[in-house]
Amino acid sequence: MMNKQKIGVGIIGASPSNPYSWAVNTHIPSIKALPDDYDLSAVSTSRQTTAKEAEKKFGAPGFDNHLDLINHPGVDLVVVTVKVPYHHEIISAALDAGKMVFSEWPLTNGLDEAEDLSKRAETSGIRTIVGLQARYSPVIRYARDLISEGYIGDVLGTTLVGSGMGWTGVTDRLNSYVYDKANGVTLLSVPIMHTFDALQYLLGDFSTLSAELVSNQTEALIADTNTIIPFTSPNHVSIMGTLTKGTAVSVFYRGGISRGENMHWEINGTKGDLVITAPSGHTQLAELKLQGGRIQENRVEDLIVPESYFAKHLPTGMPGNTARIYEQFAKDLREGTYNTPDFAHALRQHKLLSAIETASLTGMRQHLN
């Protein structure tokens, strides 16, 4: 554990003028909910005007560049919430400065960059976090315990259909960058990979997989500027495979929303079934609902997650899972444990992402270690 009582946090990308800001909507409420463990020590944006606005709004020194924040003596943990193409440069600077890093997922724009950062973090011994929040959902944690306790018997297969919400024919200026697959923020890399982290947390790792990444829209309209942009990111993804324990997996994600269910996830076993549904396929932030039924029943019923899976001092809604990551990391530092997903874990997920892309590109089933 660090010598001082609180961990000083510096957040890069804390723009108060961006209504979609993940830093503002999740990280800052999480830090404020854990005052015994964390102190918001600095914030940064890309412009002097917004840096001053952030300083005034959040009560921490504001900077207009990431290097000044990284080098601030009060910052122990650098939180990276900017667009993915900038992750490698910023995280590299933080690691070079000896600072702990919390990077949102995806860790980097591609496997090579992820391998580099994971290796550098391991070599230096610097503690890291990757923002794969879905596994911290109380619903996911309760479902995991039910499975381990034998509620559905031996797991045979799992099917999941989800909506990415974005990646449709119409967008706005702030979200338009996700339509260019070169930016690394795709239907596959964000909602699917967040959900796959939860799936693997519940059921184990992939052993084999096949995939199809389909791009059947070539243009999108930016509604607020009335301009047309190229649409190179996939808008439909199908993945089939098996897990290491032999569990069959079938996953389909579409861009946009459905007029039916936007996420329906079944886990089927020898003695029963679990069903997880949500208004969005973004498992990491959606409000999940759990249902279950056992062999003697002919339908599933709502399962209420026990209160013990919730912490009253942590925020509900969107910030909740991120707050639970922060709480776990502080506990890890106190106790010398490694239970928070780190850059090594992120690298494994980037390898899975790359295998899915390769399966689609080559048409060949991929075998994973």
Tens digit of pLDDT at every position of the chain (369 positions): 454 689 999 999 999 988 889 999 999 999 999 999 999 999 999 999 999 999 999 999 999 999 999 999 999 999 999 999 999 999 999 999 999 999 999 999 999 999 999 999 999 999 999 999 999 999 999 999 999 999 999 999 999 999 999 999 999 999 999 999 999 999 999 999 999 999 999 999 999 999 999 999 999 999 999 999 999 999 999 999 999 999 999 999 999 999 999 999 999 999 999 999 999 999 999 999 999 999 889 999 999 999 999 999 999 999 999 999 999 999 999 999 999 999 999 999 999 999 999 999 999 999 997
CATH number, position 261: 3.30.360.10
The pLDDT of residue 369 = 75
Tally of domains within the chain: 2
Please name the residue that has the structure tokens 């699917």.
Answer: 192
Domain match, 224 and 272 both: yes
Domain match, 158 and 269 both: yes
The pLDDT of residue 1 = 43
The pLDDT of residue 20 = 84
CATH number, position 98: 3.40.50.720
Is residue 367, in this structure, part of any structural domain at all?
Answer: no
Domain match, 43 and 86 both: yes
pTM: 0.96
The pLDDT of residue 4 = 63
Domain match, 109 and 19 both: yes
Expressed as residue numbers, the domain containing 275 is 135-305+349-362
Domain match, 187 and 286 both: yes
Domain match, 211 and 121 both: no
Is residue 311, in this structure, part of any structural domain at all?
Answer: no
Domain match, 87 and 196 both: no
The pLDDT of residue 97 = 99
CB within 8 Å of 330: residues ≥ 6 apart? 7, 34, 37, 38
Domain match, 217 and 89 both: no
Is residue 1, in this structure, part of any structural domain at all?
Answer: no
Is residue 315, in this structure, part of any structural domain at all?
Answer: no
Is residue 78, in this structure, part of any structural domain at all?
Answer: yes
Say if strands 155-163 and 248-254 run parallel, antiparallel, or are unpaired.
Answer: parallel
Domain match, 115 and 163 both: no
